[in-house]
Structure 1
Amino acid sequence: MRNYKNIRTLQDLQAKKLELKVEYKLKQTLLVADGKTYLHQFTPAALFKKYVTPNNFFKVDDKLNISGTAMSVLLPMFMNKTIFKGAGFLTKAAVGLVSGKVGKSLDAEHLSGIFNSVKGWFSKNKEKKAKKFVDYGIPPDSETY
């Protein structure tokens, strides 16, 4: 426990109380900011942005486009399993052909652009109300105040 020998009057006490309150708020703000920064680096979006970049995709030449080849296989499967679930054989075949061609034209730059635009839809910043300071010290109506 700290020893406050320099507090002699009520004004000194109130000044020290105000100083401690400011110090408390500053440390609280810094701790919350550091915690948010630390936790933000482990979110899926931050990990995706860190490891999945256009430079990390292996594109040896135009014939070996791994991201385009993967999308030409995955996009028709995704479309047929979700959007066109109850469609007939001809509709699924047409969707498979069209989405396969679209998937081949997608490369790393297109995929990262699509991801960033979808992420922008969901990451709207909401303003929060500032929390009121709660003081659990000496009540103002107390005789010792």
Structure 2
Amino acid sequence: METMRKESKIRNLDDLRLEIARLKTLAKEQEDYLSDQYRLFNDKVSAPVRFIKSLISWVPGADIAKNLFAKGKKDEDWLSKALRIGLPIVLNRFFLRRAGFLKRALVTLLSQQAAGALNKDRISSLISKVAEFVRPAKRGRRVVRKAVDYGIPPDSETY
């Protein structure tokens, strides 16, 4: 059985160089075509999202809601993230048991916004201010105690 053999157009070095140039040109054309198709596909897929964003931009107060539901901010620390999750749960569980859905949703949004404003630096400064207020104020002048003289100096060689 004879194997199929493809005849090559390349007979010498010049033919090889021409074939390499032709293949490079063909590859460049295909890359350009695929990049154009990819760009067109992305435009078609993102068209509904752009349409919805343009509709939302007309709604007053939409920016505030968008900022509330934005992903984690870069300057948030662990305490802010924990308060964003924990504060609405605690408020809804203990203080708003019999409240309606709208009240709970409003309190959740507001508590998440307030938790985002808090961070560990602000809380530590608040705690230090409260501690300053609670500590008793120092009265009068400070009493200076004199060292008690027991008669024998500590460095003496007396036993």
TM range (shorter): 0.3 to 0.5
Answer 1 or 2: which has greater helix percent: 2
Larger Rg: 2
**Could you state the TM-score of these two structures normalised by the residue count of structure 2?**
0.33
**Could you state the TM-score of these two structures normalised by the residue count of structure 1?**
0.36
